[in-house]
Amino acid sequence: MDPTPPAKTTAAPPPLLRRLVAIDTKISQEIHILAKPFLPHSLLLLLEISADFRLFFPVALSLLLAPLLSPNPNPNSGPIQLLRPFLSPLLLGLLLDLALIGLIKFIVRRARPVYNKNMTVAVSVDHFSFPSGHASRVCFVAALFYLSAAALTDALVYFRSTSPAIERWIGAEVKAVSVLVSVVWAWAAATSISRILLGRHFVFDVFAGACLGVLEGVVAFHFLRF
């Protein structure tokens, strides 16, 4: 009879990595504890919902396909055509982000903070913490808004020419787009930070997710446009 094969053992991480993980864990918990009495939980949950893939993807798909965006029956003219350089990488970038985040989480398998409470887990990889999918998603969107400023400006010029009321409200298109991009970046930063404050992620999870999201924005803008 063949001898029983030895049980597989998982190699312990290097001491430096264990030390960095311990520091990250401690700092993240301290931030969560310090902010908890001051920030309304409902606001943090609202930021969480605003960046959910299940909300973002249908909206992006609807905007790309909706014929109601243009009064012109020709789909190759009007705001659909003007916004396509923004909407198409937005849609494909969201799918890219979902795939990359799921793959990295499955490989790394870092557990979420022990103080993470009342979180709805849609798929099994969401049990894992690294990297933050919300941070990557919002930073991807913010980076894409920044890179697509020209397309957004062209769309505003079109809308401004169709209605005097819109013309008075928008004013200078470049300034309006600049304000819009700033608001999106502020939302992305607030949502990313809220992941730590809610106890969903550690600091390094959010940092890595944000960096990945910006990189995805660059890739989507240059290579995922149609």
Extract the tokens encoding 142.
Answer: 């913010």
* Sign of the CA dihedral running 10, 16, 20, 25: positive
The catalytic position among 32, 41, 134, 222 is: 134
* Sign of the CA dihedral running 169, 174, 178, 183: positive
CA distance 28 to 18: 15
Q: How many residues does the chain have?
A: 226
The catalytic position among 32, 41, 127, 201 is: 201
Extract the tokens encoding 60.
Answer: 């992006």
Asked if the bond preceding 131 is cis, omega within 30° of 0, the reply is yes
CA distance 24 to 1: 49
| 201 has catalytic annotation | yes
Interacting residues of 21 by C-beta distance below 8 A, sequence separation 6+: 13
Extract the tokens encoding 102.
Answer: 């799921």
Distances (CA, A) of 179 to 90, 153, 165: 20, 12, 19
- Active site members: 134, 201
